[in-house]
């Protein structure tokens, strides 16, 4: 070992490097890596575990209960920090690593940074086949870890200790890149983890990182400005990229200066507060009548930071076929969707430069007044929808009660099933960046694990705020162990378990397409002779949480107040109706596959009804 080198194992070098990476956020220098989530096994405990022990104070390691949940928590942590900080996940070789696949896909779909450090088989192959190894007879290099190539932005297998000198900076560069951000995966063979190498000392010097801001092309901006100035009915779609860019102020100023209505995507919820005059509501399949009516009439649409998923676009029926689309996005792939006029660049810089070139343009007052008027009509609908005296217990009622009692900076987490749609439509945003509705990969089970990860992040900077999790009984049954994680780590959550007896939203889709209820609600599952409810209260209590059952809106309000005052995770269980109380307004057409041939007249009728709306679908690519 020379004066300018230090001899370390591969695992020690990886952790020492991560420990030396910093980023400046709002004037404060912080570690880019906030720590990690880990479950040890034979594939990572002896070498990576040894390395992590020496940095346990600066890179805290949270012990997970399930690797998939660890990945969800890491994704929620990155969301809270607007992709400016990340967590790593470490899992053992074999099934431990395989459990991270779904979480990696969620991070990939949502463009979120997450680093996976996962055990692998031995590079020498001398002990093959080893415990949990999958053998491919004609391709001995192929294993479980290779499957992550489909769900990561960066993938590598470390085959020599020196390799990390190139690999680690490349992995971090991917996670820092607004256009290419996503999860990174490093396969760590068990022998290579412990191999030593004389690393340059300079490799471990502290480094400060910045998120790149790409300025848009001047010609693209000029084309966009020319088109916007001709608009008689312009609208702005505000996506999640607005928050990731830190462009909320620029979006607000641009909309106000030019009096252009703003409609939000699911990922873009909480770009504007609920009562901002130009916030016309959420758009799309789980949107609002107000936003969808404005979208349908708009002649020029400026999309900012959205990947234009089908729930936003109504499977591309939400907009007039002759409407002109401008897409400002850091990712070239997203900026060019559906024959958009692309502006490839940072949302903050792009909005600033667009504003500087608009020369006093304002949307016609009649158009802005129309948009504000339909939003008032939608507000009246939501008020009735969440009214506690309006019908049986429902998602909407529970959301309304919690909304009225929540703090301004409380963070709401929901995912998959019916609750994301109900939260998107009915939650009235109290402050910027306080809503996390996971509909990018629409992943059941994210709610509780994501709530834990969000609370870890929130407690670092907003300890007095709460993390509020909305989950259904189906998602709770799929993944609930991070209630225990939150109690163990003293990361308090308030969890609303709204029990409708099964997978009620898919039962609703089943019925809406003419099918009979089958295998979604417990009561309609032919292989279940006698269904009975889960005692969620007892189950949550067994994991150390405060837990209670409520039967009425008033009881829910009192339980929520008690949960706010409590010092640890509280779980509130309430039964809601599987058939009544759904938000029935605000939906655009959504393309689902229906049978073209069937003997069932109800299914055939619904198929024809659904297909009749296809004529509205834009044919862009």
Tell me the per-residue pLDDT of 269-328, one tens digit each, with 9 for 90 and over: 999 999 999 999 999 999 999 999 999 999 999 999 999 999 999 999 999 999 999 999
- Per the structure block, which two tokens stand in for 394? 């429902």
**Does the structure show a pLDDT above 90 at 76?**
yes
Sign of the dihedral through C-alpha 328, 334, 335, 337: negative
pLDDT band per the 50, 70, 90 thresholds, residue 27: confident
The pLDDT value given to residue 2:
66
Buried b or exposed e, range 60-93, using 16+ CB within 10 angstroms: ebbebbbbbbbbbbbbbbbbbbebbbbbbbbbbb
Indicate the average pLDDT of the chain: 96
The pLDDT value given to residue 359:
87
In whole angstroms, what is the distance from residue 309 CA to residue 498 CA? 27
The pLDDT value given to residue 620:
65
Mind listing the pLDDT tens digit for each residue in 596-609?
999 999 999 999 99
**Does the structure show a pLDDT above 70 at 208?**
yes
Determine which of 24-28, 198-202, 235-239, 531-535 has the lowest per-residue pLDDT on average: 24-28
Q: Are 218-375 and 386-575 equal in CATH topology?
A: yes
Mind listing the pLDDT tens digit for each residue in 103-162?
999 999 999 999 999 999 999 999 999 998 889 999 999 999 999 999 999 999 999 999
The pLDDT value given to residue 597:
96
**Does the structure show a pLDDT above 60 at 621?**
no
**Residue 192 vs residues 36, 129, 133, 506: alpha-carbon distances, Å:** 21, 17, 16, 47
**Residue 334 vs residues 234, 265, 319, 526: alpha-carbon distances, Å:** 20, 14, 17, 44
The pLDDT value given to residue 338:
85
As a CATH number, domain 218-375 is 3.40.50.1220
- Per the structure block, which two tokens stand in for 40? 């040890």
Domain boundaries, the chain: 5-209, 218-375, 386-575
**Residue 369 vs residues 228, 302, 363: alpha-carbon distances, Å:** 19, 19, 10
The pLDDT value given to residue 618:
86
Phi, psi of 198 (to 5 degrees): -90, 95
* pLDDT-above-70 percentage for the chain: 99
The pLDDT value given to residue 213:
95
In whole angstroms, what is the distance from residue 348 CA to residue 358 CA? 16
Considering the four listed CATH numbers 3.40.50.10170, 3.40.50.970, 3.60.20.10, 3.40.50.1000, the one that applies to the domain covering 386-575 is: 3.40.50.970
Phi, psi of 436 (to 5 degrees): -120, 95
Fold of 5-209: Rossmann fold (3.40.50)
DSSP assigned state of 521: B
Mind listing the pLDDT tens digit for each residue in 308-317?
999 999 999 9
* pLDDT-above-90 percentage for the chain: 95
Determine which of 80-89, 130-139, 269-278, 467-476 has the lowest per-residue pLDDT on average: 130-139
């Amino acid at each position: 070992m020379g004066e300018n080198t230090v001899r370390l194992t591969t695992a020690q070098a990886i952790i020492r490097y991560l420990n030396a990476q910093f980023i400046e956020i709002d004037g404060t220098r912080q570690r880019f890596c906030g720590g990690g989530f880990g479950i040890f096994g034979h594939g990572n405990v002896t070498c990576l575990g040894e390395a992590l022990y020496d940095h346990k104070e600066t890179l805290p390691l949270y012990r997970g209960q399930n690797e998939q949940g660890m990945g969800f928590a890491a994704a929620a942590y990155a969301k809270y920090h607007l992709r400016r900080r990340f967590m790593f996940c470490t899992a053992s070789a074999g099934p431990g690593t395989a459990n991270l696949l779904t979480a990696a896909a969620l991070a990939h779909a949502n463009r979120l940074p997450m680093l996976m450090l996962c055990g692998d088989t031995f590079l020498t192959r001398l002990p093959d086949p080893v415990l949990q190894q999958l053998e491919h007879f004609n391709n001995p290099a192929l294993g479980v870890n290779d499957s992550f190539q489909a769900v990561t932005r960066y993938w590598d297998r470390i085959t020599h200790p020196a390799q990390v000198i190139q690999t680690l900076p490349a992995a971090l560069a991917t996670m820092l890149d607004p256009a290419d951000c996503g999860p990174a995966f490093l396969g760590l063979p068990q022998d290579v983890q412990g191999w030593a190498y004389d690393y340059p000392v300079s490799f471990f010097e502290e480094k400060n990182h910045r998120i790149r801001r790409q300025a848009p092309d001047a010609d693209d901006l000029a084309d966009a400005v020319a088109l916007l100035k001709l608009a008689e009915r312009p609208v702005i779609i505000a996506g999640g990229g607005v928050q990731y860019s830190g462009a909320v102020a620029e979006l607000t100023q641009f909309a106000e200066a030019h009096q252009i209505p703003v409609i939000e995507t699911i990922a873009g919820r909480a770009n504007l507060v609920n009562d901002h005059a130009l916030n016309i509501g959420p758009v799309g399949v789980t949107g609002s009548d107000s936003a969808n009516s404005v979208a349908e009439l708009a002649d020029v649409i400026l999309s900012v930071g959205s990947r234009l998923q089908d729930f936003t676009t109504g499977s591309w029926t939400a907009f007039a076929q002759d409407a002109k689309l401008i897409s400002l996005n850091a990712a070239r792939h997203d900026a060019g969707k559906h024959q958009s006029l692309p502006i490839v660049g940072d949302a903050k810089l792009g909005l600033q430069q667009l504003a500087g070139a608009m020369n006093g343009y304002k949307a016609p007052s009649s158009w802005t007044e129309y948009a504000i008027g339909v939003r008032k009509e939608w507000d009246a609908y939501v008020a009735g929808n969440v009214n506690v005296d309006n019908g049986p217990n429902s998602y909407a009622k529970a959301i309304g009660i919690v909304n009225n009692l929540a703090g301004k900076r409380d963070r709401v987490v929901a995912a998959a099933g019916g609750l994301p749609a109900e939260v998107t439509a009915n939650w009235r945003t109290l402050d910027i960046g306080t809503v996390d509705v996971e509909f990018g990969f629409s992943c059941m089970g994210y709610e509780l694990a994501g709530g834990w990860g969000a609370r870890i992040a929130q407690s670092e900077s907003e300890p007095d705020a709460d993390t509020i999790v909305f989950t259904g009984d189906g998602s709770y049954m799929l993944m609930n162990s991070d209630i225990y994680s939150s109690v163990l780590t003293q990361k308090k959550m308030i969890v609303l378990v709204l029990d409708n007896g099964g997978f009620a939203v898919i039962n609703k889709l089943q019925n809406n397409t003419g099918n009979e209820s089958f295998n979604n609600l417990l009561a309609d599952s032919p292989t279940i002779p006698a269904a009975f409810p889960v005692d969620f209260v007892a189950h949550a209590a067994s994991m150390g949480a405060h837990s209670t059952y409520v039967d009425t809106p008033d009881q829910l309000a009192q339980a929520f107040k008690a949960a706010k005052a409590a010092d640890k995770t509280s779980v509130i269980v309430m039964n809601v109706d599987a058939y009544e109380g759904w938000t029935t307004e605000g939906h655009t057409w959504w393309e689902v596959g229906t049978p073209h041939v069937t003997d069932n007249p109800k299914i055939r009728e619904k198929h024809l009804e659904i297909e009749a709306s296809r004529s509205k679908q834009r044919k862009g690519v």
